[in-house]
Amino acid sequence: MRILFLILITFVFFSCSEEKIKPVVDLQTAGGEIPSQESWNSKIIFTEDGIIKAVLYSEHLTKYDNTKETLLEGVKINFFDEDGTVSSTLTSKKGKVDEATKNMYAMDSVVTVSDSGVTLRTDELMWNNSKRRITTDKFVTIISADEEIQGFGFESDQGLDNYVIYNITYVTALKE
């Protein structure tokens, strides 16, 4: 009985060790910073004086407090006019929201479609929250019922009603 007790104590003593298992931490995020919040299938509502101006949907969202930014994957934004109806919808693979200004940057396969049927395609653009304007210095394609225009540099209201392409490289009429 003593021998069995001695073997059991010896086994317990040697099975305990000081080696600790450390979890693997992925530091390939924004500057090695770990997000303060992370969520999937998120919805963010942008309001002004209680009136909805835009609703952002994201498949994956990571928020960083130190850099004051939110990174987005699988982005869809509905922009609203003064009447509260959707004036345009933007989609992109990636995005970023500057928490200080509430400006939103859309990147990778950006498509914006207005309620009047105007379609904007580009690789990157910025929505200025305070001015309610969409801008980019990248290549853009605008397709309306009457024409297709391509060029570099673009500015518009968020409903794509009044837009300017700064360096037009191609124009074609779609109707005769």
Find the distance separating the first CA and the last CA of the chain, reported in whole Å. 103
Q: Residue 123 pLDDT more than 80?
A: yes
Whole-number pLDDT of residue 165: 92
Other beta carbons less than 10 A from residue 71's beta carbon: 20
Greatest mean pLDDT range, 8-17, 26-35, 69-78, 79-88: 69-78
Whole-number pLDDT of residue 28: 54
Confidence of residue 129 (pLDDT cuts 50, 70, 90): confident
pLDDT tens for each residue of 140-173: 999 988 889 999 999 998 778 888 999 989 888 8
Whole-number pLDDT of residue 46: 82
pLDDT tens for each residue of 54-70: 898 999 999 998 888 99
Whole-number pLDDT of residue 12: 64
Q: With 0.75 as the threshold, say if the pTM is over it.
A: no
Please tell me which residue, 16 or 75, carries the higher pLDDT value.
75
Phi-psi region of 134 (alpha: psi -120 to 50; beta: other; left: phi over 0): beta
CATH architecture of the domain with residue range 36-173: Sandwich (2.60)
Q: Are 92 and 107 contacting, i.e. CB atoms less than 8 angstroms apart?
A: yes
Give kind and range of the element (H or E) at residue 76.
Answer: strand 69-80
**What residue segments make up the domains of the chain, in order of their start?**
36-173
